[in-house]
Amino acid sequence: MRRHYQAKTQLAINSCLVLGDNKPDIEQIIRATSSPVITKVIVIDRKVIIAGQLDLVIEYAACAPCNTQPVHIATFKVPFAHFVDHCGARSGQDAKIRMEIEFQRFQLANRRTITIFVILKACVFHLEAAKCLTKTAVCPTEQITGGCNEPVPCPQPSVYDTSHMQPCSCISCDC
């Protein structure tokens, strides 16, 4: 049975979140949840670059007078970018990433600011072969044959037919 190499890394997000002006002050944090959202994956030689955001939802008890809404929710998006060293990664490949939260801590710094410390674990669990485009040239009829009905090479493909995508089998693809 062939085993695939899985490259892993961890990244830490340490940030201060400030409530918007439309939110009341915080008396106490009730619950906080976070989810990593990957928005972009770029594969280059020997590295997989991961970019995204950490979506946070903070439920808190407000410092509010009686007869007002005591529980509020604040949402935040904290961007991140990191890379994973991977010896099999080549430019143009597609990567499948698994990302999970390993640790998170939310603390009240003051009545308007929450400090967060989150450790994310990312794993590249699958790399797919690079995709190459089969180039189809579309040339005017007069360029196809010369005066003696000899084929004349088309100077430059002007249309790329993407319906014939095929995986590249070479190690260092120049696609």
- Burial (Cβ within 10 Å: 0-12, 13-18, ≥19) of residue 21: exposed
Query: Model confidence over 106-149: pLDDT tens digits?
Result: 999 999 999 999 999 999 988 887 555 444 444 444 444 444 44
Q: What are the angstrom distances between the C-alpha of 118 and each of 29, 33, 88, 121, 145? A: 16, 11, 29, 10, 66
- Burial (Cβ within 10 Å: 0-12, 13-18, ≥19) of residue 171: exposed
Query: Model confidence over 3-58: pLDDT tens digits?
Result: 556 789 999 999 999 999 999 999 999 999 999 999 999 999 999 999 999 999 99
pTM above 0.75, yes or no: no
